[in-house]
Amino acid sequence: MLFTVSCSKMSSIIDRDDGSIFDGLVEEDDKDKAKRVSRNKSEKKRRDQFNVLIKELGSMLPGNARKMDKSTVLQKSIDFLRKHKEITAQSDASEIRQDWKPTFLSNEEFTQLMLEALDGFFLAIMTDGSIIYVSESVTSLLEHLPSDLVDQSIFNFIPEGEHSEVYKILSTHLLESDSLTPEYLKSKNQLEFCCHMLRGTIDPKEPSTYEYVKFIGNFKSLNSVSTSAHNGFEGTIQRTHRPSYEDRVCFVATVRLATPQFIKEMCTVEEPNEEFTSRHSLEWKFLFLDHRAPTIIGYLPFEVLGTSGYDYYHVDDLKIGKCHEHLMQYGKGKSCYYRFLTKGQQWIWLQTHYYITYHQWNSRPEFIVCTHTVVSYAEVRAERRRELGIEESLPEMAADKSQDSGSDNRINTVSLKEALERFDHSPTPSASSRSSRKSSHTAVSDPSSTPTKIPTDTSTPPRQHLPAHEKMAQRRSSFSIQSINSQSIGQSLTQPVMSQATNLPVPQGMSQMQFTLGRLF
């Protein structure tokens, strides 16, 4: 009896041990399976993330519409990063590192500031006289658009009497060296000479006016431009049309005015259609200026409040007074293009939409609300030429459209390297651009009708020099005339409002004079 009980107990213990062992094995298998599942999920997540990154990287590579495998994407990315590193190293090598250059300014910003301070602009000319690049500062100095000069011959803008001398200077300097070796081009082969350059005119029939300028520059080889910057330019032109080695040399110069300009025009607009609002009294005095104005005209509101708007208008644009008379007659209107003097002593072109506001109870005119829009000189010139019945040339129209669209146009803000890349031999005569202030510059008759030779003696520039006290007297007289005109125009502007008030029906119990005074005051 006892034996059977003990046997049963032993068998139950053995069964229990076997069950626990089996359960332990099952638990271990479950743990291993869970680990494998977790590891597989992690691997899948990593692969999916890697594929997404490879796909995104492939979409960012330029000029690859076809599907690429992972190794190709990585290889092209490495090539791109290597080229980017080379370009960065080249730009760092050309960076101005002198102590007199502020560290917070880039090379482009510093160059632009120096050009403005020196009354100059950049010009790149091929050995045959073709202009391949000109900076935008030429517009404020010679009143040409960059599109007027690019792809034209420099001799189209120099008096006929100076053609042979300028050509002789350039060619003689090139012949000083037996061969245009890279060592010679990298040396200090600086060239300086003076000549006259044509100023722009809105109407090509106007007499030509020339400005005395000084060229200071060096000869540069186009082969010095890195191959990565050519961007496939060599393959886009036929071998027979490619220029020879001697033709692949250009003269890069800074062109400076012999006589500086104290007040310049800001002809280039970085942000098209910039605008600000102001309020004026009926005498056209500033009553309000919004927060956007200081970044455009430079004045803070308290600096202009109480002053007349005519104190800031160009003396040649006082015809805007007729637009203001039209405003007083009809209550709203749009001005013509006019120049406004900024705090930095630069002229910017504006166009204004305005209307008169009236008191809600007595209907008296209170003030004039103006919305001023900044416009570019290209738009102003195109409009004035349309008024004269002159058709714009294709490059100029394209430039106007690109500025109006607000794209990164920068009609000719492309770098010199990009200008060299798109160079082709297609020089054609150019129509001249706008001209102003002709009394202060040398006037030369039209070369096409009566060629006139201008002496190129650098010691005697042809512009008339006046003593300092006479210049100051002339400037004061011009400002006094301008302020007198502003006062007279401001007084005359109230007359249309008086006539408008007298034409209204008079209520019963009031005389005509009482009603008129009530409308005005």
Q: Which tens digits make up the pLDDT trace of 371-410?
A: 999 998 888 888 888 887 776 654 444 444 444 444 343 3
Alpha helices per DSSP H over 137-263: 138-142, 146-149, 163-175, 182-186, 227-230
> Identity (one letter) of the amino acid at 335?
S
Mean pLDDT of the residues in the chain: 69
Residue 116: alpha-carbon gap to chain centroid: 14
Indicate the DSSP class of residue 413: -
Q: How confident is the model at residue 284 (pLDDT cuts 50, 70, 90)?
A: very high
More confident residue, 157 or 231: 157
More confident residue, 86 or 473: 86
Contact of 200 with 148, CB cutoff 8 Å:
yes
> pLDDT tens digits, residue range 302-358?
999 999 999 999 988 888 999 999 999 999 999 999 999 999 888 899 999 999 999
What pTM was estimated for this model as a whole?
Answer: 0.51
Average pLDDT over residues 282-291: 93
Average pLDDT over residues 425-430: 37
Rounded Cα gap, residues 426 and 400, in angstroms: 22
> pLDDT tens digits, residue range 188-210?
567 888 999 998 887 777 888 89
Domains, the chain, in order of start with CATH, read 18-95 (4.10.280.10), 107-265 (3.30.450.20), 273-375 (3.30.450.20)
Average pLDDT over residues 218-225: 68
Q: Is the pLDDT of residue 134 over 70?
A: yes
pLDDT of residue 186: 54
**Three-state secondary structure call for residue 94:** coil
> pLDDT tens digits, residue range 58-68?
888 876 656 77
Burial call 97-128: b when 16+ CB within 10 Å, e when fewer:
eeeeeeeeeeeeeebbeebbeebbbbbbbbbe
Q: How confident is the model at residue 279 (pLDDT cuts 50, 70, 90)?
A: very high
Indicate the DSSP class of residue 315: G
pLDDT of residue 87: 83
Task: Evaluate the CA torsion angle 311, 279, 356, 334 in order and state its sign.
Answer: positive
Sort 325 into a burial class: Cβ within 10 Å, 0-12 / 13-18 / 19+. Answer: middle
Contact of 340 with 348, CB cutoff 8 Å:
yes
Q: Is the pLDDT of residue 446 over 50?
A: no
Rounded Cα gap, residues 338 and 320, in angstroms: 7
Sort 389 into a burial class: Cβ within 10 Å, 0-12 / 13-18 / 19+. Answer: exposed
What DSSP string runs through 434-502? ----GGGSEE---TTTS-------TTS-SSPP--HHHHHHHHHHHHHHHHHHHHHHHHHHHHHHHHHHH
> Identity (one letter) of the amino acid at 5?
V
> Could you tell me the CA-to-CA distances from 450 to 93, 161, 163, 444 in Å, in that order?
51, 11, 15, 9
Residues near 307 by beta carbon (within 8 Å), at least 6 away in sequence:
285, 286
More confident residue, 55 or 180: 55
pLDDT of residue 369: 95
Q: Is the pLDDT of residue 285 over 90?
A: yes
Q: Is the pLDDT of residue 278 over 90?
A: yes
Least confident of 2-16, 279-293, 395-409: 395-409
pLDDT of residue 387: 80
Contact of 486 with 314, CB cutoff 8 Å:
no
Long-range Cβ pairs for the range 81-88 (8 Å, 24+): 83/228, 86/226, 86/228, 87/226, 87/228, 87/229
* Residue labelled with tokens 């204004």: 352
pLDDT of residue 226: 41
* Residue labelled with tokens 């997404």: 52
Give me the half-sphere count of Cα atoms (radius 13 Å) on the Cβ side of residue 497: 27
* Residue labelled with tokens 């046997």: 7
Q: How confident is the model at residue 34 (pLDDT cuts 50, 70, 90)?
A: confident
pLDDT of residue 38: 86
pLDDT of residue 109: 78
Q: Is the pLDDT of residue 10 over 50?
A: yes
Biggest alpha carbon–alpha carbon distance for the chain: 148
pLDDT of residue 175: 52
Task: Evaluate the CA torsion angle 417, 419, 422, 425 in order and state its sign.
Answer: negative
pLDDT of residue 16: 59
Least confident of 6-20, 262-276, 325-339, 488-502: 488-502
- Phi and psi for 470 in degrees, rounded to 5? -70, -40
* Residue labelled with tokens 């590192």: 97
pLDDT of residue 337: 92
Rounded Cα gap, residues 348 and 331, in angstroms: 26
Sort 278 into a burial class: Cβ within 10 Å, 0-12 / 13-18 / 19+. Answer: buried
Structural element, H or E, at residue 506? none
> pLDDT tens digits, residue range 104-115?
777 777 877 777
Residue 432: alpha-carbon gap to chain centroid: 21
pLDDT of residue 521: 38
* Torsion-angle region of 239 (φ positive above 0: left; ψ -120 to 50: alpha; else: beta): alpha
pLDDT of residue 115: 74
Average pLDDT over residues 441-461: 38
Q: Is the pLDDT of residue 462 over 70?
A: no
Average pLDDT over residues 261-289: 80
> Could you tell me the CA-to-CA distances from 287 to 314, 323, 339, 420, 497 in Å, in that order?
21, 20, 20, 51, 19
> Could you tell me the CA-to-CA distances from 41 to 28, 54, 220 in Å, in that order?
20, 20, 61
pLDDT of residue 354: 94
pLDDT of residue 427: 38
pLDDT of residue 494: 41
Contact of 210 with 222, CB cutoff 8 Å:
no
Residue 353: alpha-carbon gap to chain centroid: 24
pLDDT of residue 307: 94
Long-range Cβ pairs for the range 77-86 (8 Å, 24+): 83/228, 86/226, 86/228
Indicate the DSSP class of residue 258: S
Rounded Cα gap, residues 188 and 333, in angstroms: 59
pLDDT of residue 477: 43
